[in-house]
Amino acid sequence: MQVTQNDSNLMVEVSTDYYVDGKSKVEIARHRGISRFQVARLLTQAREQGVVRIEITPPRADGERGARLAARLGVREVLVAASGEDTLSTRENVAVELARTAREHITEGSTVGVSWSRTVEAAVRHIGRLPHCDVVQLVGALPVEGSGNSLALITTFAQMPGVRTWPVWSPLLVADAATAAGMRRQPEIADALARADHLDVAVVAIGNWSERTSTVFPQISTEEQEAATAAGAVAECSGRLFDSTGQPVRTSLDERVVGVTLEQLVATPEVIAIGYGAAVAPGLVAAVHGGIATTLVVDDAAATALETLTP
């Protein structure tokens, strides 16, 4: 059964029966005079159309703690998610908090820049329906084993009603500077990256500059890794490196990246940056000092390390 405008009231009533009143599908079918299969179809369509949104919500950490950290760091807001028993559960908790925060900041007509990380990818599963807005892919694709990539992520946004998307049809890292420059000149890519000059909100991930905590670090040569470290890199955001003061670190790697620049992020009014684990804390502090981040979404371990760094 396909739901039309005239069926919307029935969809709401069936959803209320099932999710609020706890009635079984058989009971609803008998009461409403429809088949059990029609009930199941209505419930499925209610979720697909955003009439029903189910959210699994880990408990939020002490808001006062986040407020104290925000005051110490000089950022608009710090949101602290619970650390899980392992990386996957921690990432999921941070993703849920990120989804909440993103929904609060994305308004009708916004231009939203979205980078890619495993946590950002997970957050999209929880974000639900967005108001009419433009979503700009901030980085080219960097496939990671066991996860998606930025192109897959922008495709997910493209399927949301009322959301226009601006993809970057390129890898994040290409072979050399000339290839990267050529990719950035491609009309569609150039258009998307130019829109990063006019973002209202950006969602990015901060990674400590190390093999275990940066998706870019393992993709480059040992020589490039060592050169970036010697140049003062402490953290990475969207393939761009920065030092302990939040200033860009320019190496040959920077010339091979197809994606948003740190300068574009600094010019964005609201940048929601995520990070988890104690190791990322220096990078988060640096991102704040450099004006890269205005809101932080972290886990308990990162928050504890931030408290140590900002007495």
Hey, CA dihedral for 211, 212, 213, 216, is it positive or negative?
Answer: positive
- CA–CA separation, 57 vs 109, rounded Å? 27
- CA–CA separation, 148 vs 142, rounded Å? 9
Q: Look at residue 1 in the predicted model and tell me its pLDDT.
A: 41
- CA–CA separation, 86 vs 133, rounded Å? 35
Please write down the HEC assignment for all residues of 209-222. CCCCCCCCHHHCCH
Residue 238 · residue 271 · CB < 8 Å? no
CA dihedral 119, 121, 122, 128 (to 10 degrees): 130
Q: Look at residue 202 in the predicted model and tell me its pLDDT.
A: 98
Order of strands across the sheet that contains 133-137:
77-81, 295-299, 270-275, 201-205, 111-114, 133-137, 163-166
Amino acid at 301: A
- CA–CA separation, 91 vs 111, rounded Å? 26
Q: Look at residue 2 in the predicted model and tell me its pLDDT.
A: 44
**Each residue's pLDDT expressed in tens, for the chain with a length of 311 residues:** 444 545 778 888 888 889 888 888 888 999 999 998 899 888 888 888 878 876 555 555 558 899 999 999 999 999 999 999 999 999 999 999 999 999 999 999 999 999 998 899 999 989 988 999 999 999 998 776 656 677 889 999 999 999 999 999 999 999 999 999 999 999 999 999 999 999 999 999 999 999 888 888 988 999 999 999 999 999 999 999 999 999 999 999 999 999 999 999 999 999 999 999 999 999 999 999 999 999 999 999 999 999 999 87
Q: Look at residue 3 in the predicted model and tell me its pLDDT.
A: 43
- CA–CA separation, 174 vs 9, rounded Å? 52
Kindly report the pTM of this predicted structure: 0.79
**Residue 103 Cα to chain centre, angstroms:** 11
Domains of the chain (ranges; CATH) run 5-48 (1.10.10), 63-309 (3.40.50.1360)
Helix (H) / strand (E) containing 135: strand 133-137
CB atoms within 10 A of CB 88: 11
Amino acid at 295: T
- CA–CA separation, 122 vs 151, rounded Å? 14
Q: Look at residue 270 in the predicted model and tell me its pLDDT.
A: 98
